Structure 1
Amino acid sequence: MKSQIAALAAAGVLIAQAAYAGQCGHVYCWGAVAIGENGAWGWSHSHYSEQNAINALQSECKGKCDNVHTFYNTCGAIAKAPAGNWGFGVGASQESAEYSALAYCAQYGDGCSVQVWSCSP
């Protein structure tokens, strides 16, 4: 009887841990978005650490991205205008992250458009 109770308790702990983890299987599902000179851009998602998300992104950017932003268990986006102003935003969906980035960018000038986005829920 004690072994059955112990087994049920262990199963309950595992279920609770799975429910606590993000959709990517980690507690924090890190992602990153970035832009750089000459139109460089990159993104990453579903990493177990912030540094891994940045490393994956820099690999995609070939080291040319210098405007890097991280997030976890959400979506992130960067918008940029021809004049060089930019904005970063986060949100529960791609659309809300893009809207937030565009709104931030528009505070500093016109003609903003989304350059890159990623979701890591």
Structure 2
Amino acid sequence: MTFSDAAHRRAIFACAAIFALFGLSATPSWAAGAFAVGKCGAYGQAYDYPEEAAARAAALKQCKGECKAVTMKRACAALAVDMANPCGAHGYAVKPKISSSLNAATKKCYEFGGKECVIRAWACDAKG
């Protein structure tokens, strides 16, 4: 029996909630992550790696095509694309909190000419 990504994430969330309820730390000491961005909405993400180089390599491996990676350390990254033209305008951002990264990525997408910008992907690393 295999878990889907969604089921796996729900299980991790449930364990983290139990640890938080009993005052135990579920956050690993690893805190390096990366977010790779490519054309036409391509992306890759890696979080909670022991070092930035490993996180960058993992994110780039997931991203299809010509991609560039930005690192995040105890932060969140987001990618917004223009749904009217997914291969056109896009924006991404790395910020300390998820809400600010989502807002900044969407704003950048519009600044670069997007007409219907929506969040395509996001990731947070450790305490982001």
User: TM-score range, shorter-chain basis?
Assistant: 0.5 to 0.7
Across the aligned residues of Structure 1 and Structure 2, the Cα RMSD in angstroms comes to 2.1
Corresponding pairs, count: 96
CA distances 1:34-55 after superposition (whole Å, capped 9, x unpaired) = 2324543211101122211111
Distance 1:97 1:89 in 2: 5
Which of structures 1 and 2 has the bigger CA Rg?
1
Any unmatched runs of 5+ in structure 2? 1-26
Structure-1-length-normalised TM-score: 0.66
Distance 1:67 1:84 in 2: 16
CA distances 1:96-115 after superposition (whole Å, capped 9, x unpaired) = 21111111221121221212
* Equivalent residues in 2 for 1:92-107, closer than 5 Å: 92-107=96-111
Structure-2-length-normalised TM-score: 0.63
Within the candidate set 85, 89, 92, 1:85 is matched to 89
Any unmatched runs of 5+ in structure 1? 1-22
2:78·2:121 contact (CA, 8 Å) conserved in 1? yes
Secondary structure of the residue aligned to 1:24 is coil
2:76·2:94 contact (CA, 8 Å) conserved in 1? yes
